[in-house]
Amino acid sequence: MQRVLEIGCGFEKTPGAVSLDVNPRVPADIHHDLDAFPYPIADDAFDRIIARNVLEHVADLIRVMEELHRVARSGAHLWISVPHFSGRDAHTDPTHRRSFGIRSFDYFIPGTELFTYQYSGVARFRLISRRIGTETPKAWWRNPLLHWLNRHPDVYETRFAYLYPQATVYFVLEALKP
């Protein structure tokens, strides 16, 4: 049976997941600040980690990614949704510390241009998927613009993002461990 961790669960917990949230008013299994390290979770404990609309709130994204890597088993999938920088509400919430682009997690993906900066000595992931606008691909005829921008995300982000803004960018990463 897959063990699932959901961080920043709020009031909408994923059924069957171990939930973690800083807010003592939400019914989380673990109440803990994501900016306090280490997390009260054993190494290699989870097969899937869900980070839905929470990473934009943390102070130290690199340390958080290292902690998520630590608690993930080798091959575990990390499902992330975060505000896209072009979205209307990306900079509206006063608790948001950052917004994201299509390459924001490349710093943790070996073989990418941004990985060469080596911001983390431990967190390594393989990119499974990334999408702007919707979590799962839709048939191109349902939304040809959304289809086009996900086929050409660099062109979209450098030239058209503010003409056709998108609220969210989604990632699925796989934990790489020795």
Q: Which domain holds residue 36?
A: 4-138+166-175
Quote the CA–CA distance of 41 and 105 in Å, as a whole number.
Answer: 23
pLDDT of residue 138: 76
29 is a domain residue: yes
Q: Does residue 159 belong to any structural domain of this protein?
A: no
Q: What is the per-residue pLDDT for 134?
A: 83
CATH of the domain at 35: 3.40.50.150
pLDDT for the residue numbered 93: 93
| Residue pLDDT tens, the chain, 178 long | 899 999 999 988 999 999 999 999 999 999 999 999 999 999 999 999 999 999 999 999 999 999 999 999 999 999 999 999 999 999 999 999 999 999 999 999 999 999 999 999 999 999 999 999 987 877 777 889 999 999 999 999 999 999 999 999 999 999 999 8
Q: Is 63 helix (H, G, I), strand (E, B) or coil?
A: helix
Domain count, the chain: 1
Q: Structure tokens of 126?
A: 């393989």
Q: Are 8 and 57 in contact (CB under 8 A)?
A: yes
SS3 percent helix, strand, coil of the chain, rounded to 5, is: 20, 25, 55
